[in-house]
Structure 1
Amino acid sequence: MQRKTVFVNARVTAMELHEALRQIADIRHQMALGTVYRGYRAMTVGASGVLALLAAAIQPRWVPEPEGDLGRYLGLWVGAAAASLVAAGVEMSRRAWGHGPGLARRMTLLAAEQFLPCVAVGALLTTCIARGAPDAAWMLPGLWALVFSLGIFASHRLLPRPVGWVGVYYALCGCGCLAWGRGEHALAPWLMGITFGGGQLLGAAILHWTLERTDVTQGPG
């Protein structure tokens, strides 16, 4: 009887411990949602904007007829996007794991969970159009911009409030690309240059003004 009582007490204690750990995890999750994420850096975001402008400048020589050479067009812009994502991922990982386990790492994982779905959807969308409906490829710049805006809106709770305007910018550019980016303007380099070059530079300016400038002003204390 005594052994049975001890077993029951141990089981209850284990259940209470499990519940306490779950509550702690929930608290950490709520703290992450209520804290501004600082893993996105103005320098990295700005560099991706400059890369988009460079790709737009290179496109007329690299892909003079993008509708007739869709594979090369996609290679240019998917390559630029991949390079930007890798740079951002390295920066986020360095800051998260450099501070050891805790809130910074949790927020990095949460930011990735919120933004990466838009990247996956964009990749699937690109594959489907490139393989199944190449005649609709002119829509890609607009669709990319709209999908990217959804990723920004999904991450908005972790970022400074003005970053929402970047999402609005991408949404408007996406609609503009779909409205005017066909016919003689189909897959024109300025579509991507204005959309992603301008959008990333706007995001970099907002991150610097709202986060990094205040960090420098306040100092380490």
Structure 2
Amino acid sequence: MSEVEQAIAQIADIRAQLAASTRFRGYAPEAVGVVGLLSLMITVMQVVWPDRYAANDQQYVLIWGLLMAAGCLLIAGEAILRTYRTSDRMAHPMLISAMRTVIPATVMAAVIPAAVLVYAPQAAWIVPGFWQMQISLVAFASYSMMPRKIIWPGAWFLFSGGAGLFLAGAHGGLTPLVAGAPFVIGHFAIAWALRERKERGHG
């Protein structure tokens, strides 16, 4: 490898390290807030009309899975658009660095519940807790790139996911509050963390 190629490779490594340690500004608090509002709406629907929207654990997983998928598309789409609109040269490397954390977790959050629904539907009650702990994992893994207060939503999802697993197991299945309330609180908390950064002029 020539000296020029080595220099280019070193510059690329430095940019990747900077991207991994710089706060990512692509996530919009508005998009996360919308997911929180949708979570609240679904939770209320499941409380008011349980026979229609909370008939069994599999229905919980399907409904919340659709919301999770829609939320991921909304947040990711907004992040990509915000990144390509900015003139910051670090925006694209930061987006790539963020996706390296988010994409594997998203794949796991889709594949494992799908396998549960197909081969072990009686265990569907574990899925919402699993999703919440996955969100916590992403929040903690992204700590160096996100506002410091992201640790609080991350801790909330870790606690609520673990507690939800035990509550659902003890209850013999999911309830609207066990399945939905953690998503409502957690998404609003993430939006709050992102909004604080934006108000301080960093987003």
Whether these two folds match at TM > 0.5 is: yes
Instruction: For residue 83 of structure 1, report the CA deviation from its aligned partner.
Output: 1.3
Question: Does the alignment pair 1:134 with 2:121?
Answer: yes
> In the alignment, is the contact (CA less than 8 A) between 2:23 and 2:147 conserved in 1?
yes
Helix, strand or coil for the counterpart of 1:215? coil
Pick the aligned partner of 1:201 from 157, 179, 188: 188
Structure 1's consecutive aligned runs of 4 or more residues displaced over 2 angstroms after TM superposition are 58-64, 72-75, 99-102, 182-185
TM superposition score normalised by structure 2: 0.90
Pick the aligned partner of 2:26 from 36, 39, 42: 39
Pick the aligned partner of 2:89 from 102, 105, 114: 102
The range that moved more, 157-166 or 54-63, is 54-63
Q: Which residue pairs with 1:7 in the alignment?
A: none
Pick the aligned partner of 2:100 from 95, 113, 116: 113
Deviations for 1:71-94, whole angstroms, at most 9, x for unmatched residues? x43331111111111111111111
- Give the RMSD, CA atoms, in angstroms: 2.0
Bigger-Rg structure (1/2):
1
Helix, strand or coil for the counterpart of 1:91? helix
Pick the aligned partner of 1:65 from 55, 61, 69: 55
Count of paired positions = 200
> In the alignment, is the contact (CA less than 8 A) between 1:142 and 1:177 conserved in 2?
yes
Q: Distance in 1 between matches of 2:54 and 2:139?
A: 32
Question: Does the alignment pair 1:49 with 2:39?
Answer: no
Note closer, same or farther for the CA distance 1:122–1:153 as it changes in structure 2 (3 Å cut): same
Instruction: For residue 184 of structure 1, report the CA deviation from its aligned partner.
Output: 4.2
Deviations for 1:140-161, whole angstroms, at most 9, x for unmatched residues? 1111111221111111111111
TM superposition score normalised by structure 1: 0.83
Question: Does the alignment pair 1:215 with 2:201?
Answer: yes
> In the alignment, is the contact (CA less than 8 A) between 1:53 and 1:197 conserved in 2?
yes
Q: Which residue pairs with 2:80 in the alignment?
A: 93
Can you give the 5+ residue segments of structure 1 that lack an aligned partner in the other structure? 1-11
Can you give the 5+ residue segments of structure 2 that lack an aligned partner in the other structure? none
> In the alignment, is the contact (CA less than 8 A) between 1:118 and 1:151 conserved in 2?
yes
Instruction: For residue 100 of structure 1, report the CA deviation from its aligned partner.
Output: 5.3
Matched residue type, 1:106? P
Matched residue type, 2:41? L
Q: Distance in 2 between matches of 1:66 and 1:90?
A: 32
